[in-house]
Amino acid sequence: MFYSNQENRRKSWYYHISLSYKSIFGLAAILGILLIGVSATTAWYAHRAKAFPIGELVIPAGSTILYDIENQPLGSLTTQSRLQLRTHDLCPEMIDAIVAREDVDFFKHSGVNFVAILRSIWQNISSMRYKQGASTISMQLARNIYELHDETIDRKLLEIALTYRIERRYDKYTILTQYLNRIYYGQSCYGLPDAAHYYFDKKVNDLTLSECAMLAGIIRGPSILNPVASMKSAKAVKVEVLKRMLDLGKINQARYDVAFKEEINLNIQPRRSVINSYPIMLAQDEMREVAPQLAETVEGNAVISKLHLGIQRHIEAATEEAMSFFEGQSNPSASWIDRMGGSAAQKQARIIEWNELKRPKNMPNRLQNDLSDILQCSVLVLDSRLNHKGNLLAVTAGRSAADGLNRWHTMVKPGRAAAPLVFCAASIPSTKDHYILPRSAELTGERCGYDVVRSFADSLRYDIKYPDKSHASNLYAGNYEMRRLDLARLHYSMLHRGHDYRLSLIKAIYSNQLQALYADVPDELQEFIRRECAMATSLMLPFEANENAPTEMNVHLADGNGFWSLVSREGCLSVFVWVGFDDPNHPLAKDRSIKALVSRFTPLLAYDIYQQGLREMRQVRKNMKERAKAKEAGKI
């Protein structure tokens, strides 16, 4: 008997399906897997793209931005002035030239031109070499802003995700404007306005069709195609762009012929630099000191400072208001009047009295716009709180940073303001007893002797031009030259237990990719003045120490070097104000009416700044607490 070895089993439903249906199911499964993969990849790169600050697109290209303590922008630290193109400055010829050269479908696609990508892939495969790219203008902008220069698939996908974010946030003309503000044109020219100025001494909307075509043509090889490096190459790319514009119907044959024949007439312009404000000026100085500690260039990065924008704005407004009053152009501020106290009638009488104060008839003022001959004012606001001491919160070094002078580095004769130095020298323990006469630094110095005072002054390591021993009386009386900044440091140390605090404003530096490049680490505190000596000296004249009130100092510097006011309280703020003329030999520097006016109102200005500084700092602490609560609640 024959028995079959095969099992008689019910076959699976899959075997009853025809081959064509099996193919469909298999293809659907593959497509499903691909769809899931594409969706997951898209979601992943969209998530990564959100980590990049999209607002950087409208920040001036290549600028290193200075921020205050609350991350509010204070200005650009870029030393080279960079002209910025605005959307309404775009001329039709330049738009047509750049679009014809770089991205024909720019106004049609949504940031990524997939047709161009497929065409590029086909041409590169067919030619077996990299012959054509497919980056749109939007993609190039994303690459330049976020430094996505690695030739990898990951970089390309992230670039596409960022491009879509940019396209959703900004219109085409804004994107094109910011692209033209960033691209390189050779000869250290970044951005179209800079190139137009450097090569032709023109504004963008004044460029001819021929010049637009040349500038659009050189961006693919700016170092070798620019007209300074090779006029022949510049002319060749100009013709290429013009032909492309003709083929696309952007220009007609007549305009093409005129532009083709037009010569490229260069008008090379020298480089220009600009300083926007005093915080920028001081930050640039500090950046030069910090630069050797950085692992890479600081151009285009974010510099977080210890400055406070609210205090900075107040001192700029308050000092100019005070100077206008000194020059007889306005009345004193309400805060000054309230500072003096009294009834409404007394305040009104005081205003009348102030308006009747005599001023020289030839008193120069800023209305004449001669910054070198007017009354100047410099303000320094330092943090005096524990763990924040030495932090620079706000600064001015004159009436306008346009003159390029940092008056805190100017040498002055301190006069009575240097008396604490003599008193400190006398209070140092030694084998010989020294007697301090608090009202006379000269007699105290004579009792100590030149060598004792000079030895102590040398230990401070300040930039001081000391008188020789034959003129010892000048050392005791402060008739020598030292920097205003060192005078402020001396007083600040005296009022803060003799510690030598390094006055600084930079807190941290970050790259465009939010990578920390530098962080300020406070130096180990050095007690270069004995604590007991500093504390004792801070209670003597010319310091005016009052219980439960800030310490003040209000003195005339020697030989027409201006007036010095100080308001300071440990745990709060320290404010230094200098008012005077740049030239101590100015005819008005020693005028009695000016001296009386300045000595009466400069202390009010210093105290007004001190009070406003306290209000601003309290607001900062309040904001920090609110942000902390919001963060805990998950709102941010």
**273 has pLDDT over 70:** no
Distance (Å, whole) CA 566 – CA 584 = 21
Which residue did the predictor score with more confidence, 57 or 636? 57
At residue 22, the pLDDT reads: 59
Q: Give the confidence band of 296 by pLDDT, cuts at 50, 70, 90.
A: very low
At residue 635, the pLDDT reads: 59
Cβ count within 10 A of residue 87: 12
Phi-psi region of 162 (alpha: psi -120 to 50; beta: other; left: phi over 0): alpha
At residue 4, the pLDDT reads: 47
Distance (Å, whole) CA 551 – CA 384 = 12
Which residue did the predictor score with more confidence, 616 or 15? 616
| Across 461-475, 526-540, 606-620, least confident range | 526-540
Q: Rounded to whole angstroms, what are the CA distances from 129 to 9, 118, 123, 126?
A: 58, 15, 9, 8
**311 has pLDDT over 90:** yes
Average pLDDT over residues 288-292: 76
End-to-end CA distance of the chain: 85
Which residue did the predictor score with more confidence, 331 or 623? 623
At residue 279, the pLDDT reads: 93
Q: Token pair for residue 489?
A: 């440091």
At residue 475, the pLDDT reads: 94
Query: Which residue is it, tokens 């005129």?
Result: 258
Mention every residue, 6+ apart, whose C-beta is less than 8 A from residue 628. none
Mention every residue, 6+ apart, whose C-beta is less than 8 A from residue 562. 412, 556, 578, 579, 580, 581, 584, 589, 598
Of the segments 6-20, 71-85, 265-279, 547-561, which one has the largest average pLDDT value? Answer: 547-561
Average pLDDT over residues 385-411: 91
Q: Token pair for residue 172?
A: 């085409």
Do strands 302-305 and 65-67 pair parallel, antiparallel, or not at all (unpaired)?
Answer: parallel
Which residue did the predictor score with more confidence, 532 or 47? 532
- Percent of the chain with pLDDT strictly greater than 90: 37
At residue 2, the pLDDT reads: 45
Whether the CB-CB separation of 232 and 265 falls below 8 Å is answered with: no
At residue 14, the pLDDT reads: 52
**339 has pLDDT over 70:** no
**298 has pLDDT over 50:** no
> H/E element holding 379?
strand 376-383
Distance (Å, whole) CA 35 – CA 377 = 68
At residue 120, the pLDDT reads: 62
118-161 tens-digit pLDDT: 766 566 555 554 444 568 999 888 887 776 766 677 777 888 88
Average pLDDT over the chain, rounded to whole?
83
Whether the CB-CB separation of 575 and 566 falls below 8 Å is answered with: yes
Average pLDDT over residues 432-446: 79
Q: Give the confidence band of 373 by pLDDT, cuts at 50, 70, 90.
A: confident
Average pLDDT over residues 52-73: 77
Distance (Å, whole) CA 567 – CA 344 = 27
Which residue did the predictor score with more confidence, 261 or 51? 261
At residue 327, the pLDDT reads: 82
Mention every residue, 6+ apart, whose C-beta is less than 8 A from residue 242. 209, 210, 213, 251, 256, 259, 260
**297 has pLDDT over 50:** no
Give me the amino acid identity at 196: A
At residue 606, the pLDDT reads: 94
Average pLDDT over residues 579-598: 89
71-100 tens-digit pLDDT: 888 888 765 556 778 888 888 999 999 999
Whether the CB-CB separation of 180 and 172 falls below 8 Å is answered with: no
Distance (Å, whole) CA 447 – CA 435 = 7
Enumerate the β-bridge partners of residue 392: 382
Give me the domains of the chain, ranges plus CATH numbers: 82-261 (1.10.3810.10), 278-414+480-626 (3.40.710.10)
Average pLDDT over residues 374-381: 94
At residue 364, the pLDDT reads: 78
| Across 26-30, 205-209, 420-424, 521-525, least confident range | 521-525
Distance (Å, whole) CA 562 – CA 568 = 20
Of the segments 39-48, 80-89, 229-238, which one has the largest average pLDDT value? Answer: 229-238
**565 has pLDDT over 90:** yes
At residue 353, the pLDDT reads: 72
Q: Give the confidence band of 414 by pLDDT, cuts at 50, 70, 90.
A: very high
Q: Give the confidence band of 623 by pLDDT, cuts at 50, 70, 90.
A: confident
Q: Is 149 exposed, middle or buried (0-12, 13-18, 19+ CB in 10 A)?
A: exposed
At residue 378, the pLDDT reads: 96
Phi and psi of 384, rounded to 5°? -115, 10
Cα 519 from chain centroid (whole Å): 16
Of the segments 145-149, 286-290, 326-330, 609-613, which one has the largest average pLDDT value? Answer: 609-613
At residue 151, the pLDDT reads: 66
**299 has pLDDT over 70:** no
At residue 200, the pLDDT reads: 94
At residue 131, the pLDDT reads: 45
Q: Token pair for residue 469?
A: 């021993």
Radius of gyration of the chain (CA): 35
Distance (Å, whole) CA 443 – CA 216 = 76
**3 has pLDDT over 50:** no
**627 has pLDDT over 60:** yes
Cβ count within 10 A of residue 142: 29
Average pLDDT over residues 486-490: 95
At residue 1, the pLDDT reads: 43
